[in-house]
Homo-oligomer: A and B are copies of this chain.
Amino acid sequence: MKPLTNETASAEVRAVWDDIKSTRKVAEVNNFWRYLANEPRMLKQTWESLKAIMGPGALDPLTKELVYVAVSITNNCEYCMASHTAAARAKGATEAQINELYAVVGLANMTNRLANAYRVPVDPQFKDEDS
């Protein structure tokens, strides 16, 4: 699959790209959106979902970028690690915060497997809080 360009994109695709550029105040969309434009319906749905959730809300935008990086590391998605780490830095993340984030992600992946291995039953107090 090849990325679409401003010349090869349909009006429908360019309308989504224009909304990304004006929402994010950037001159061009990044590669992800150029490739995803091969499936215009999914381009539109993915952008609308990110726009609805990643902007202002219950969590601050930086926290959401850090969560995005954490999931991307766990799934080993190189593109997503690079783009969301850049976004986190643009939103103010310090090097110390990113390093600590990596440590938390490492530990969570370790204790997830230890809990699996021992098949640890959920404590009653955690059930109470969750349901």
Residues of A that sit less than 8 Å from B by CB: 1-3, 30-32, 35-36, 38-39, 41-42, 44-46, 48-50, 52-54, 57-59, 63-64, 66-68, 70-86, 89-90, 94-123, 125-127, 129-131
Contacts and interface: CB of A to CB of B under 8 A. Distances in A.
A49 B115 contact: no
B73 A113 contact: yes
Copies in the complex: 6
B99 A105 contact: no
Given A48-B45, A76-B75, A83 B126 contact: yes
25 contacts: A1-B131, A2-B131, A32-B115, A32-B120, A38-B118, A44-B52, A46-B114, A50-B107, A50-B111, A58-B100, A59-B97, A63-B66, A67-B67, A67-B105, A68-B108, A71-B109, A72-B112, A74-B75, A76-B77, A77-B112, A83-B123, A89-B129, A106-B111, A106-B113, A107-B110
Contact of A80 (B59, B73, B75, B115): B115
